[in-house]
Amino acid sequence: MSLLFENSYLKIEIEESDIPWLKIFTQHPYKEMSDAPIEIQLQIFDMLNIIEKEMLAYYKPKKINIASFGNYLPHLHWHIMARFEEDSWFPEPVWGTKQRESTLSLPSFETFCENIIGKIKYA
């Protein structure tokens, strides 16, 4: 995993995967969304919105998956993934049973990440 963005409240990490996948973590290890102060909750929703909209516009996926579990890591975080009918797990979640071997031909993930950073700076 590598760091894409960080401020005093949040950080965005890249999850290595065959599909575009980012994760938002709070800097402080809150256990639940309701544990975080409202300003951090609002910043999380702003980041989720920016990432989802950019994934939709840039990749044109079948669906965006957004998840927050934290059962193994009880530190407030969100997964944002672009999903495609031809990806290896679709329609299952990426934690489910792999459905097929897939080689997706997608636009540059680096460019997508640069777009995200540009949009965050102006949010």
Digit-coded pLDDT (tens) for 36-80: 999 999 999 999 999 999 999 999 999 999 999 887 878 999 999
Q: Nearest Cα to 78, choosing from 90, 86, 88, 69? A: 69
Note the pLDDT of residue 74: 82
Read off the pLDDT band of 123 (50, 70, 90): low
Residue 9: band (very low, low, confident or very high) from pLDDT cuts 50, 70, 90: very high
Sketch out the chain's domains with CATH numbers.
Answer: 2-121 (3.30.428.10)
pLDDT range class, residue 122, cuts 50, 70, 90:
confident
Q: What is the pLDDT of residue 32?
A: 94
Q: Distance between CA 68 and CA 37 in Å, rounded?
A: 17
**CA-to-CA separations, 102 to 3, 16, 98, in angstroms, rounded:** 26, 15, 10
* Average pLDDT score over residue span 4-30: 96
Q: Taking all residues of the chain, what is their mean pLDDT, rounded to a whole number?
A: 94
Pair of tokens at residue 47: 């980041």
